[in-house]
Amino acid sequence: METISTNRSFSGTQGVYKHASSATGTEMTFSVFVPDHAPGAKLPVLWYLSGLTCTHANVTEKGEFRAACTDAGIIFVAPDTSPRGEGVPDDPEGAYDFGLGAGFYVNATQAPFSTHYHMRDYIETELPALIAAQFPADMDRQGITGHSMGGHGALTISLRNPGRFRSTSAFAPIVSPLNCPWGHKALGGYLGEDRAAWTDYDACALIDGGARLPDLLVDQGEADSFLAEQLKTHLLREACDRAGQRATIRMQPGYDHSYYFISTFMAEHVRWHAGRLKG
C-alpha cells in the first residue's frame, strides 16, 4: 500500500492510498478517514460506495462526513468505482454509464471486461482484508452506504452477506437494475443476456428471494431527474412491504441527485450508523 496524501481534518487524518489489486489486476485508489483515538483502540468502519462517473474523490472532497465520523469515532472508507489504467476496456462509444467509472460492483463474466472488472471481489474480499491489516478497524462492526450506483452496491453487497454489516443505508440508490436502462446496459454488458445471472445484483430481487437486513435507511430526492426512469424507489418500498423488511425510505422534497443532496443528509446517516455500530 502506498500513501498518496494525508491531511489533518476534524481531529482526524484523511488519507488517500493506492495498491496493486489482485482482484482487478490494476492499481486501485481509495480514501480512508481515521478519527483520533486512544492507542490500541479499534474503531467501527463505514463503507461508502460512489456512483457513476465518480472516484473516491467525490465523497472525500464533497461528502461532509468527517465531523460526524469524529464525533462518532467511525472510520470512513471510500473506494473507487471501477478498475482503471492502460489496457482496461471502456465503453466503446465513450458513454458515461458503462466501463470506466461504472463498474456496478459486479464480477464481469463477459469479454473483454471479465479480465479486470471484478469489483464485487474487490469490495467484498480484497479491500476489507487490506483495511483490517493497515488501519485500526474493528471488522466486527461494519456499516455500508452509497449513492446511486453505489447505493445499488451497498444494498446488494449487504443483502448477499448476511451478518457482515450491522447497518445499511443509501442515497438515491438504483434499487432494481433488472428494471431500468442503466441496469440493462451494465448487467447485460458485464454478465451477458441471461437475466437469471443478474438477480445477485438487484436489491429488490434479493429481498424477494429471502435476503434480509437488520434495518435500512434510504433518502431519495423528489427533484432527482433520474428518479422515474432509473432509480424507481417505489420498487424498493414495495419489495420491503411484501417481505416485511424493516426500512425507513424518505422522499426529500426539492433535493436532486447531486452532492448538495448527499452532504445535507450525510451527518444524519453517519449518526444512524453509529447507533447500530456501538458495542
- CB 56, CB 252: distance < 8 Å: no
**Residue positions annotated with a catalytic role:** 148, 224, 257
Structural domain for 221, as ranges: 2-278
Mean pLDDT score, 31-42: 97
Query: E strands within 61-109?
Result: 75-79
Residue 58's pLDDT band (cuts 50, 70, 90): very high
Residues 209/199, Cβ–Cβ less than 8 Å = yes
Q: Residue 49 forms beta bridges with which residues?
A: 146
Which pLDDT score is estimated for 219? 98
* Domain of residue 173, CATH code: 3.40.50.1820
Task: Report the number of distinct structural domains present in the chain.
Answer: 1
* List of long-range contacts for 8-12, beta carbons under 8 Å, 24+ apart: 9/33, 9/66, 10/35, 10/66, 10/67, 10/69, 10/70, 11/35, 11/36, 11/70, 12/36, 12/66, 12/69, 12/70
pLDDT of residue 229: 98
Q: State pLDDT tens for residues 178-223.
A: 999 999 999 999 999 999 999 999 999 999 999 999 999 999 999 9
Q: What is the pTM of this model?
A: 0.97
pLDDT score at 19: 98
Average pLDDT for residues 52-72, to the nearest whole number?
98
User: What confidence tier does 77 reach under pLDDT thresholds 50, 70, 90?
Assistant: very high
Is 238's pLDDT higher than 80? yes
Q: How far, CA to CA in Å, does 264 sit from each of 123, 131, 179, 252, 255? A: 26, 27, 28, 11, 9
Average pLDDT value for the chain: 98
Give the model confidence (pLDDT) of 129-146 as tens digits: 999 999 999 999 999 999
Give residue 95's pLDDT band: very low, low, confident or very high (50, 70, 90). very high
Please work out, in degrees rounded to the nearest 5, the angle formed at the alpha carbon of residue 155 by the alpha carbons of 74 and 205: 165
Contact status, residue 69 vs residue 76, Cβ threshold 8 Å: yes
Q: Does the pLDDT of residue 279 top 80, yes or no?
A: no
